[in-house]
Amino acid sequence: MEQQLKEILKSDFEKYMRFAVQSTTGFGFDVFGEYAVSVLNFYVGSAILNYQNKLEGSLYLLELYNVGLGGVMTKEDRKELAQVFAQDPTLDYGVLKPIFG
């Protein structure tokens, strides 16, 4: 995955994380999962990501989230979750509003 694409994913992840931490929802795994799936599908639909690198983007977001958790997720868990996220077709614009709105 290109460095520029990683920077976009990281920047939007940080925006969403700040929003979620400051809101009443927090940034638990369920909130992160909804965000990750929606943002990946948004980027595929916008041709920022292609389907082939959607899995790679998913894994990168999980790596960023894992850093915030103190590295508690194993590499195998991240790979498995990345597969699940990449296969999920959900796109909830309400979830994305804090970074694009």
Q: Which amino acid, 22?
A: Q
Task: Give the residue extent of every domain in the chain.
Answer: 3-96
Q: Which pTM was predicted? A: 0.94
DSSP codes of every residue in 39-92: HHHHHHHTTSS-HHHHHHHHHHHHHHHHHHTTS-S-HHHHHHHHHHHHH-----
What pLDDT tens digit does each residue of the chain (101 aa) get?
A: 799 999 999 999 999 999 999 998 889 999 999 999 999 999 999 999 998 899 999 999 999 999 999 999 999 999 999 999 999 999 999 999 999 87
